[in-house]
Chains A and B, each alone.
Chain A
Amino acid sequence: GAGVSQSPSNKVTEKGKDVELRCDPISGHTALYWYRQRLGQGLEFLIYFQGNSAPDKSGLPSDRFSAERTGESVSTLTIQRTQQEDSAVYLCASSSGTSWDTIYFGEGSWLTVV
C-alpha cells in the first residue's frame, strides 16, 4: 500500500474487555514497530518485528499486551482485560529493515477504555 494503514481509527471499550488493533505496513517493509502515546506525552516503544519474529519486545508493559505478525505483512496488537491506563493512541510504523532507513508511521488507533 501507499502508507502504513491502521484500524480501527478509534475504539471505545469497556474496562476488562479485550481489544485487537491492526496494522498493515508498507508493502515490502520487513520491519514493523508498535508505539504507544498517552495524551500529551511522547512515544513509548512497545515491540519491534523483523519479518514475523520479534527480536525486541522490551516495551510491552505487561503480560496483558501481546502482538503477532503474519510473515512480512499484517500485525495485530492485542490488549487483554483492558484498564483505563491503557487509553492512548497506538501507533504502528514500518521500514525496509536496515539501520539507516526512514521509519514511516500510520495515523494511529485511538483507544479509550471507559
Chain B
Amino acid sequence: SQQGEEDPQALSIQEGENATMNCSYKTSINNLQWYRQNSGRGLVHLILIRSNEREKHSGRLRVTLDTSKKSSSLLITASRAADTASYFCASRNTGFQKLVFGTGTRLLVSP
C-alpha cells in the first residue's frame, strides 16, 4: 500500500498545550498537504508545503518537511478545545495527481 502513516494515532492534551503530529510517506513527493476533519465529514485544508520547502507557518500551525526522512510534522501551538478533530497528512507523489492519505491522528483538547 502507498498509504502513509501518522503517529500518534490519538493524542489527548489540555487547552493551552502544544500538539505535535508526525507523518511518514513512502515515495518522492511534489508537495504534502495537511487537513482537519471534524466528526468524520468534510476535510478542511490547513497547509500545503512543497518538496523544496522545509518549514511553513499559518497562524498557530507550523509544518515541517524532511524529504530525506520522508516525514512531516504538524505543530499546533496554544491548543483550544475547538482544535479537537482528526488530522490527516496527504502526499502528492511526483508524477501523480492524486493525494495519498496517512492514517490520521485523533486530537482531543480538553478545556
Residues of A within 8 A of B (CB): 31, 33, 35, 37, 39, 42-43, 45, 48, 50, 55-56, 89, 91, 93, 97, 99-100, 102-108, 110
Contacts of A108 in B (CB 8 A): 41-42
Q: Top 3 nearest A-B pairs by Cβ distance?
A: A107-B42, A105-B43, A43-B101
B99 at the interface (CB under 8 A from A): yes
Give chain B residues whose Cβ lies under 8 Å from the Cβ of A33: 97-99
Are A45 and B42 also in contact (CB < 8 A) when A99-B30, A99-B92 are? no
Count of B interface residues, CB-CB < 8 Å: 25
List residues of chain B with CB under 8 Å of any chain A CB: 3, 30-31, 33, 35, 40-45, 48, 50, 88, 90, 92, 96-104
A31-B97, A45-B98, A102-B48 known; A39+B33 contact, CB < 8 A: no
Q: Which residue of A lies closest to B4 (CB)?
A: A42
Q: How far is the CA of A50 from the CA of B48 in the complex (A)?
A: 21
CA distance A100 to B96 in the complex (A): 11
Complex Cα distance A112/B3, Å? 25
Chain A's interface: helix, strand, loop or mixed, by majority? strand
Chain A residue nearest to B30 (CB atoms) is A99
Residues of B within 8 A of A110 (CB): 41
16 A–B contacts, CB within 8 A, in A order: A31-B97, A33-B97, A33-B98, A39-B40, A42-B101, A42-B104, A43-B90, A43-B101, A50-B97, A56-B96, A89-B41, A93-B43, A105-B43, A106-B42, A107-B42, A108-B41
With a cutoff of 8 Å between Cβ atoms, the chain A residues found around residue B50 in the complex are 100
* Complex Cα–Cα for A48 and B88 (A): 20
Provide the bound-state CA to CA distance between A45 and B88, in Å. Answer: 14
Residues of A within 8 A of B99 (CB): 33, 43, 45, 93, 103
- The reply to whether A99 and B97 contact each other, CB–CB distance below 8 Å, is yes
